[in-house]
Amino acid sequence: MVSYKDALEIIKNEIQKLTLHQEEVDLLDSINRILAEDVTADTDMPPFNNSAMDGYAVKFSERKKWNIIGEISAGNYSSITLTKSDAVLITTGSKIPASADTVIPIEDLDVEGKTVSLKPAAKYKKGINIREKGSDLHSGQIAVNQFTKIGPKVIAALASCGKERVKVYQKLKAAILSTGDELIPVIQKPSEDKIRSSNNYSLYAAIAEVDHSPINLGFVKDDKNIVRQKIKDAFEMDIEILITSGGVSVGKYDFLKELFKELGVKEKFWRVNIKPGKPLYFGVYENKKKKILVFGLPGNPVSSLVNFNVFIKPAIDYLYHQTPIIFLTAVLQEDLKKRDNKRHFSRGFIFKGSGEWSVTSKYSQSSGSLVEMSRANCLIVLEEEKLNPVKGERVKCFLI
């Protein structure tokens, strides 16, 4: 059995050996993807001195009254030469004529026919309301760094750099296979001793949520020959990750570990000192052509999703240089039972209390209670050495 920290290190160490491939996509198809290149500005931003306000452009002096000699609106520049007594109506974003150096906002002015004058209470300074050429970024400088995740803010910067297409990292392809004699499809109603297979869905969604490509291999019975064939087939696929659920505990039909070994998977660890999710298996399948990380998750719906959240997601984030888990400190609203030296990930609901975050953990902590888990919004991390935390204690949580 390995510790949580060691297990995560082992996985990170293996995942970083995967080759990150690149592809080029249209800018609008790059949303939520990870940029695979540094993108530099091909022009100054903004490309010209422009007005930050709707107002009048003037050449600075102590004057309070000007003659209106023309107008410039955004995108309709005309090179007007101003003297100190001239003013040009200008709209936000318009290019400033070279002879003007100040924009007085419309709110500070009174316009009367062809003249404009400063309101009695208004003041202005030289150079106000001008956004200078290149003040955001100079041509040739990096606008967006490699490994930035593309969202609304970043895509705007990329568009402004003229990137109609961008290089992004390819998504990881993760196949998901459930095992268990008890499993039936969603469309069937459980009778006797069967349950609907939900892990395919939760793990599929988990991969999709981190913006990679899930492949659903469905579920198979606890029949060695069938499971072996399914895993063999998976190893023939173009995937980087295989996630199985079920069959990695110590029960009579928990033979996945054995099959992985038989099929050439190198075991990196089996069982982690955590709760839930202790039976986690991790190994690496490698042949001349490829490397596949193999995660054998326990079948309990809560355990498998916790495993995903505390191992697979952080490892993928690490591979793509993304922000690690962000922890919040919250005040525990009830006592929690913890009598062992495992690291616990308890289901909680975090909310804003009076100034501080609060977290309630009234949900069932059974690893089979998947509906209870669906109501939780965070995992509460109780470190190995922490025992029976009580109401009022501050605990570390992260959103799920």
Which positions touch ligand AMP (CB under 6 A)?
178, 180, 182-183, 195, 197-199, 219, 245-247, 249, 251, 298-301
Q: Which residues of 222-239 are buried (b: 16+ CB within 10 A; e: fewer)?
A: beeeebbebbeebbeeeb
Q: Are 115 and 67 in contact (CB under 8 A)?
A: yes
Select the binding partner of residue 71 from Mg ion, ligand AMP, none (C-beta < 5 to 8 A, by kind).
none
Residues 6 or more apart from 27 whose CB is under 8 A from it?
155, 158, 159, 163, 164, 165, 166
Toward Mg ion, which CB reaches closer, 97 or 246?
246
Toward ligand AMP, which CB reaches closer, 219 or 260?
219
Toward ligand AMP, which CB reaches closer, 46 or 368?
368
Select the binding partner of residue 245 from ligand AMP, Mg ion, none (C-beta < 5 to 8 A, by kind).
ligand AMP
Tell me the C-alpha distance between 318 and 86, whole Å. Answer: 59
DSSP state of 73: B
Both structure tokens of 166: 């961008």
Toward ligand AMP, which CB reaches closer, 49 or 202?
202
Select the binding partner of residue 310 from ligand AMP, Mg ion, none (C-beta < 5 to 8 A, by kind).
none
Task: Tell me the residue type at 354.
Answer: S
Toward ligand AMP, which CB reaches closer, 250 or 326?
250
Toward Mg ion, which CB reaches closer, 124 or 255?
255
Which chain residues interact with Mg ion by CB under 5 A? 180, 246-247, 299
Q: What is the dihedral of CA 46, 52, 55, 60, to 10 degrees?
A: -80
Select the binding partner of residue 190 from ligand AMP, Mg ion, none (C-beta < 5 to 8 A, by kind).
none
Select the binding partner of residue 301 from ligand AMP, Mg ion, none (C-beta < 5 to 8 A, by kind).
ligand AMP
Toward ligand AMP, which CB reaches closer, 99 or 198?
198
Instruction: Tell me how far, at minimum, the Cβ of 354 lies from ligand AMP, in Å.
Output: 39
Tell me the C-alpha distance between 16 and 5, whole Å. Answer: 16
Select the binding partner of residue 182 from ligand AMP, Mg ion, none (C-beta < 5 to 8 A, by kind).
ligand AMP
Select the binding partner of residue 276 from Mg ion, ligand AMP, none (C-beta < 5 to 8 A, by kind).
none
Instruction: Tell me how far, at minimum, the Cβ of 245 lies from ligand AMP, in Å.
Output: 5
Select the binding partner of residue 367 from Mg ion, ligand AMP, none (C-beta < 5 to 8 A, by kind).
none
Select the binding partner of residue 198 from Mg ion, ligand AMP, none (C-beta < 5 to 8 A, by kind).
ligand AMP
DSSP state of 10: H
Toward ligand AMP, which CB reaches closer, 102 or 197?
197
Toward ligand AMP, which CB reaches closer, 97 or 299?
299
Instruction: Tell me how far, at minimum, the Cβ of 296 lies from ligand AMP, in Å.
Output: 9
Instruction: Tell me how far, at minimum, the Cβ of 1 lies from Mg ion, in Å.
Output: 20
Tell me the C-alpha distance between 263 and 243, whole Å. Answer: 15
- Nearest alpha-carbon partner for 380 in 332, 312, 339: 332
Instruction: Tell me how far, at minimum, the Cβ of 271 lies from Mg ion, in Å.
Output: 16
Instruction: Tell me how far, at minimum, the Cβ of 251 lies from ligand AMP, in Å.
Output: 6
- Nearest alpha-carbon partner for 108 in 118, 95, 93: 118
Tell me the C-alpha distance between 34 and 23, whole Å. Answer: 11
**Long-range contacts at 92-98 (CB < 8 A, ≥ 24 apart):** 92/51, 92/52, 92/53, 92/54, 93/50, 93/51, 94/50, 94/51, 95/48, 95/49, 95/50, 96/48, 96/49, 96/50, 96/51, 96/57, 96/130, 97/57, 97/72
Q: Which residues of 144-160 are buried (b: 16+ CB within 10 A; e: fewer)?
A: beeebbbeeebbebbeb
Instruction: Tell me how far, at minimum, the Cβ of 337 lies from ligand AMP, in Å.
Output: 22
Instruction: Tell me how far, at minimum, the Cβ of 197 lies from ligand AMP, in Å.
Output: 4
Residues 6 or more apart from 256 whose CB is under 8 A from it?
179, 227, 244, 246, 247, 248, 281, 296
Instruction: Tell me how far, at minimum, the Cβ of 199 lies from Mg ion, in Å.
Output: 11
Both structure tokens of 93: 């974003």
Toward Mg ion, which CB reaches closer, 179 or 346?
179
Instruction: Tell me how far, at minimum, the Cβ of 185 lies from ligand AMP, in Å.
Output: 11
Select the binding partner of residue 307 from ligand AMP, Mg ion, none (C-beta < 5 to 8 A, by kind).
none
Tell me the C-alpha distance between 50 and 44, whole Å. Answer: 12
